[in-house]
Structure 1
Amino acid sequence: MSRLRKQRNDIAHVQQANGALSHSNGFYDNNGDAHAQKANDTSLLSNGFHDNNKEATKTDETTGIVHMIDFLLNKFVLPICMIIFLPIISIFLWYTNTHCEGSFKILYSRVQDGSSFGLLAQILGNMSIFNKFTCSVVFGYFAWALFWMKVLPGKTVNGPMTAMGNIPVYKNNGFLHYGVTMVGFAILTLVLKQYGLSPTIVYDRFGELLVFINVFALVFVLFLCLKGLYFPSSSDSGKTGHGFIFDYYWGTELYPRILGIDIKVLTNCRFGMTIWPLLVCTYALKSYELHGFVDSMFVTTVLQLIYITKFFSWEAGYMHTMDIIVDRAGWYICWGCLSWLPEIYPLVSQYLKANPVRLGWPLAFTILVLGLAFILINYQADLQRQQVRSADGQCLVWGLKPEIIRAKYMNDGGQENESILLASGWWGVSRHFHYMPEILLSFSWTAPVGFVNLLPYSYVIYLIILLVHRSFRDENKCRRKYGRYWQEYCEKVPYKIVPFIF
């Protein structure tokens, strides 16, 4: 296969990874070779099992219909619906939390009095979106993040080679950036308190900030889309081939950089994942100012901050995940990290500020211990895989020699490589085991709110949908990459996430 043809196929695989329809149901064999399947079908036809003309026509018609449905749903309808409605949903989540006592029932009653778009117009009409406060907070934070990204030291780390032969290079200073930012927030709080002020004004005016960052993110993604088409940072760029809507949604560039700044690191890590703990601390401070010490707020704050700290301690590993190496820098990733994440990820803390729940120390301690246990299990699962691969399988997992599969695959340069698939320890429980403690942890930091309203569980529900969808995407990617070795792994570890269930 020529290099050009291979590049086109690789790009097609990336685009297919985002589709909601699975392409593993007979269109590909274990090696992901559609041509082998087609050759086999042709052989059967030539042996007289089918009428050549009629069956070929039926196959072509069926394939054409499948492709048309795939394009309409996954490349147009779903993207445009998400682009239109998710920003609106994020605003309604904030409104429900702060103006409807965290109750969807109250929100529904207000929508019944008019219409959802009428209520949205009323919400936006009561806001001053473009003002000194919103501009100074958002752009001031971006200036802070960009400054420390450049100034802080860090070890140089490489990402995996791309389909076009490029190797992204990063400065691994995420943990330092996180630490400096959290210390800076503490100092800012102390200084403001001396003048009778508080950073909790961010909570008081968060609606304005949320709408402002939504508008900013939508425009910024358009800029990235055009940049990838006309001023790309590397050869891993270009149109998706599915129209402008999908170009905007999925992105036109895998690793965009502006003045040496990696855009994905900026949006995903330095903005999204760093704004999350800042908002958690802001909501906790606001709660303390109004209600004093509340044990439920303490539990959810501690669990979220420890989880986020673990993320930044492992940020270099994040550069090898699907978010970075598969998903382009479009609306799906960049708008999500800039606008969706700041509202839905710290949603529980936002809810508890307005609806304090006093658990009592026995229940609070139990939930805290369970949450910490899920963090530890998640950490151990990642550590097991790293240790087995770094030791080339010559180590112990749970006191036993690890059960491994040495999976051979062809890299983008056409050379044969080998990767270790761990099939014991936590990775013998399920193929994507690390998703399970993440879901249970999110439930742990949400459970302190009780079960009066569904709203605070929005993040748990969203996370389940996200990780289940991601498990299918990852399965397709691994099946194409490892072929029969992945099939062997699936036979040894038959469950995707939850043993005996899924």
Structure 2
Amino acid sequence: MASPSKDATDLNPRTTHYEFLGPPGALAITIGVPAMTYMLYYGCSEETGGCPPPIDVDIILNSLSTVDFWKGLWDTQAFLAYLAWYAFTVVAWFILPGDWIVGTEIRNGQRKKYKINAFSTMLLALGLTAGTLYREGPQPFTFIYEHWVGLVTASIAMSVFQGLLVYALSFRKGALLALGGNSGNPIYDFYIGRELNPSIGSFDLKSFNELRPGLILWMLIDIGMVCEQAVRRGGFNKVTDSMWLVLAFQSWYVVDALYNEPAIFTTMDITTDGFGFMLAVGDLAWVPFVYSLQARYLVFNQVELGPIYTAIIIAVNLAGYYIFRVANGEKNDFRNGRNPKNLQYMTTERGTKLLTSGWWGRSRHPNYMGDLLMAFAWSLPTGFKTPITYFYVIYFAVLLMHRERRDDEACLKKYGKDWTKYKKLVPWRIIPYVY
């Protein structure tokens, strides 16, 4: 329990260091992320005529100035469908059985408990999907492709609602705030997340959104794109090998993340960041509707790879997955007091042990390297006709580099000269001999 000598000011000090260039940057990203989600559709879609479509600035400006364009972003059917999906994941959290695990100690001396049933939620969703496909065929799932913009709008609306809700609730007495989200500037704090772990009883909103509504929806969207292509080509047996690869790779990633759900409770998102619009829009809109760009592209630009190119792409993905999973396994074993590989480490003055061999001796974030290789493999099935389908790889590289810099700064504050010594032992940030 928290020490009785600690008052609210001790537990919730004022944030003095801004990220993302402070309030102007936070405002730009708050507007920019939804805008980019739409742009990736209109800049790469059948509706607009290509990937990218022919660009006429006058036509674009005229479209944006019409009421009909903005009305077209709203789709009541899509909104109700999205609400039904989100409600399904909430109900599944409550009714499906799952173990309760204890998270890391937070600075008030307490440890939150988290229910683990994301994997079973996914299995239930896939079971219902398989039943529908068996009875109705692929046609019902073309709804996703046909109502894409409306579903994007619904997910962004949910993100804004949650961001405003948790920001307002963070002012209640006793709320534990994120160290980085208590600046006093409403624009910045709304974006970055003011409260560390907003919860309704035992229902933790941040960890719930991290793995369930958006991540499982990403897989279902990919399935919807397979169904759209199957309807157009005359059956599942005529779906292109490139589409099957994208579905397999991205589904594998989702399944792995959900199966290893406990691993997220030691990540920066859970232990350090507050829950605000940044995480809400990332989890609910960006992940499902941007990460599935390759599958959507392959609906209207159907690519046949052939066995050789398919084998090469599979090898790239397997290499990335191997590095990602083995590196995370080494870290999780070590954090839980196990060292089956007898990895070398250094002990800091705080008593913390830092790995200096194995994958964590090759770079300070080898799991990021594996992630990037997998991201590259997801884009390769689209071919090289357009750079837009490689947007995710570029974005993800920038994101991981920024996250690595944040982690480096936090560790320098935490370990001081020991961190400087550690960086000499492990000099590479993500990719050995490159970066």
Q: Secondary structure at the match of 1:104?
A: coil
The equivalent position to 2:70 in structure 1, one of 124, 135, 138, is 124
Identity of aligned residues (%): 25
Name the CA shift for 1:237/1:422 in 2 (closer, same or farther; >3 Å): closer
Alpha-carbon distance in 1 for matches of 2:390, 2:178? 38
Q: Is the 8 A contact 2:44 2:52 kept in 1?
A: no
Name the CA shift for 1:89/1:405 in 2 (closer, same or farther; >3 Å): same
Q: 1:386 maps to which residue?
A: 332
Q: CA deviation at 1:468?
A: 0.3
The equivalent position to 1:171 in structure 2, one of 82, 97, 115, is 115
Aligned ranges 1:74-93 → 2 under 5 Å: 74-93=21-40
Aligned ranges 1:66-145 → 2 under 5 Å: 74-98=21-45, 99-104=47-52, 106=54, 109-115=55-61, 118=64, 123-127=69-73, 129-131=74-76, 133-145=77-89
Which moved further from structure 2: 360-369 or 432-441?
A: 360-369
Specify the code of the residue in structure 1 equivalent to 2:228: K
Q: Secondary structure at the match of 2:354?
A: strand
Alignment of 1:472 with 2:405, yes or no, is yes
Aligned ranges 1:36-435 → 2 under 5 Å: 74-98=21-45, 99-104=47-52, 106=54, 109-115=55-61, 118=64, 123-127=69-73, 129-131=74-76, 133-193=77-137, 197-230=139-172, 234-236=175-177, 240-291=182-233, 292-393=238-339, 395-396=340-341, 401-409=342-350, 418-435=351-368
Q: Deviations over 1:286-333 (max 9, x none)?
A: 122223220111111111111111111211110110111111110111
Alpha-carbon distance in 1 for matches of 2:57, 2:425? 51
Name the CA shift for 1:91/1:119 in 2 (closer, same or farther; >3 Å): farther
Name the CA shift for 1:136/1:231 in 2 (closer, same or farther; >3 Å): farther
Alpha-carbon distance in 2 for matches of 1:342, 1:84? 18
Name the CA shift for 1:125/1:458 in 2 (closer, same or farther; >3 Å): same
Alpha-carbon distance in 2 for matches of 1:6, 1:184? 49
TM-score (norm 2): 0.90
TM-score (norm 1): 0.79
Q: 2:388 maps to which residue?
A: 455
Q: Secondary structure at the match of 1:311?
A: helix
Aligned residues: 424
Q: Is the 8 A contact 1:192 1:199 kept in 2?
A: no
Q: 1:28 maps to which residue?
A: none
Q: Secondary structure at the match of 1:113?
A: helix
Q: Secondary structure at the match of 1:402?
A: coil
Q: 1:51 maps to which residue?
A: none
Name the CA shift for 1:406/1:116 in 2 (closer, same or farther; >3 Å): farther
Q: CA deviation at 1:231?
A: 6.7
Specify the code of the residue in structure 1 equivalent to 2:300: A
Q: Is the 8 A contact 1:111 1:119 kept in 2?
A: no
Q: Secondary structure at the match of 2:184?
A: coil
Q: CA deviation at 1:348?
A: 0.8
Q: Deviations over 1:79-128 (max 9, x none)?
A: 1111122212211211222223442352xx1334342872786543335x
Q: Is the 8 A contact 1:102 1:453 kept in 2?
A: no
Specify the code of the residue in structure 1 equivalent to 2:39: F
Q: Secondary structure at the match of 2:56?
A: helix
Alpha-carbon distance in 2 for matches of 1:265, 1:388? 23
Q: Secondary structure at the match of 1:200?
A: helix
Q: CA deviation at 1:8?
A: 5.0
Q: CA deviation at 1:6?
A: 5.4
Specify the code of the residue in structure 2 equivalent to 1:322: M
Specify the code of the residue in structure 1 equivalent to 2:157: V
